[in-house]
Amino acid sequence: MTLSTVAKARELAPVFAARAPKWDVERTYCWDNITDLVDAQIMGMTIPKELGGLGASYLDVIHVVEEVAKACTLTARVVVEANMGGISAVMAYGTDAQKSFCAPIVLAGDKPAICITEPDAGSAATEMRTTARRRGDTYVINGTKHWITGGGVSKLYLIFARVLDEDGSDLGITGFIVHSDPSAGILPKGFTVVGREKTMGLCGMPEAELRFENLVVGADMALIPPSGFKRGFAELMNAYNSQRVGAGMIAMGVAAGALEHAKRYLLERKQFGRPLAEFQGLQWMVADMDTQLHAARLMLHEAAKSRGPDGSQFPDMTMAARAKLFASEMAIKVVSDSLQMFGARGYGDREPLERMYRDVRMFTIGGGTAQVLRTQIAGSVLGIKTPQTRDT
């Protein structure tokens, strides 16, 4: 399965690379690529076979992600979030009915949106103000989410909210599955896409603000982990470990693609009567870039394999944080050095390095900033609890 899916991704890479400038310049979502991903069975690979997926491991997925990321960062992000994002939480903690509901939507091409961040609650997710008040067999959600990746194009939303009992008592935080599909006339009352940020890179991916005003969600759509509401948030946040591994792999894949472009240019371009590849200063840069890429790849593979063998576990938190931290910071340096090798040509849009540089900058921010990851790693090393690992 892995080899055939990776081979399909490798075949699609030139097509994705040719389309990438369009999504960037026009700031449009990569719908054409989604069709290709569905045909190649790349969407929802980690969904169990009995629900129509391939039952792939996270290691299987990140092999595919690397090939796609070399060509198009935007499409690679879709692959990660359709295999290692919110769908992972549903497959791990959801009821049979929830899994059966979500699986076909993802397999048909949807990238579920995880709704955690709020205007006043970013890294401090436990300070979220969005509430879900119990009302009979439903919950009524009110609040605002910001920087929601895929807002307005995604069909499945995993909305995190502070759960209030009917008497107003705080029960903890959990996620609620909401389906919104304007093209099919599915528009939940009280669910509004307010606006979209104009971003530096990954320009085809909406980063939207969502507003919920008395949004009614059935109690059967509450995602409740084994520990219940009070401890459940910490368990649900473990799903972020897989998303972090995926995000790190996107960054690494972009960097690997940048090095491939640099290699081509160094071998072709001549200055002072010889190819740039013969200049020792540039050779040493290439050696450092290749070494850093190899180290990042090994760390990401290690983190992906730390998932429980029965598929119910997520990657180890510290391994995931360590891998994403190293890969994301390494990628910015490698892409920057690759652009430098092109000189002025790399700074312009004749080469993809300019777009790749803007895209890769996001990965030390989204999915856990480099600073938050360092705090988590330090907490693990020192054996102390950090603010980011607090339950609610």
Which band of pLDDT confidence, cut at 50, 70 and 90, is reported for residue 122?
low
Rounded-to-integer distance, Cα 180 and Cα 157, Å: 8
Average pLDDT for residues 267-272, to the nearest whole number?
A: 96
SS3 160: strand
Smallest CA-to-CA distance from 4 within 58, 48, 54 is with 54
In this prediction, residue 231 carries a pLDDT of 66
In this prediction, residue 177 carries a pLDDT of 97
10 Å Cβ neighbour count for 327? Answer: 30
Q: Which residues contact 105 (CB under 8 A, 6 or more apart)?
A: 155, 156, 179
Contact 107, 43 (CB under 8 A): yes
Q: Does domain 113-228 have CATH number 3.40.605.10?
A: no
Average pLDDT for residues 247-263, to the nearest whole number?
A: 98
SS3 134: strand
- β partners of residue 149: 207
In this prediction, residue 237 carries a pLDDT of 79
Average pLDDT for residues 242-246, to the nearest whole number?
A: 95
Rounded-to-integer distance, Cα 392 and Cα 376, Å: 16
In this prediction, residue 105 carries a pLDDT of 97
The token pair at 248 is 């790190």
Domain boundaries, the chain: 2-84, 113-228, 238-389
In this prediction, residue 301 carries a pLDDT of 97
Q: What is the pLDDT of residues 218-227, one digit of tens each?
A: 999 999 876 6
Which band of pLDDT confidence, cut at 50, 70 and 90, is reported for residue 140?
very high
Rounded-to-integer distance, Cα 193 and Cα 181, Å: 12
Domain 2-84: give its CATH architecture: Orthogonal Bundle (1.10)
CATH H-level superfamily of 238-389:
Butyryl-CoA Dehydrogenase, subunit A, domain 3 (1.20.140.10)
Which band of pLDDT confidence, cut at 50, 70 and 90, is reported for residue 78?
very high
Q: What is the pLDDT of residues 272-323, one digit of tens each?
A: 999 999 999 999 999 999 999 999 999 999 999 997 655 457 999 999 999 9
Average pLDDT for residues 36-61, to the nearest whole number?
A: 96
Mean pLDDT of all residues belonging to the chain: 92
- Using a pLDDT cut of 90, give the percent of the chain over it: 82
pTM for the model stands at 0.94
Residue 42 has pLDDT above 70, yes or no: yes
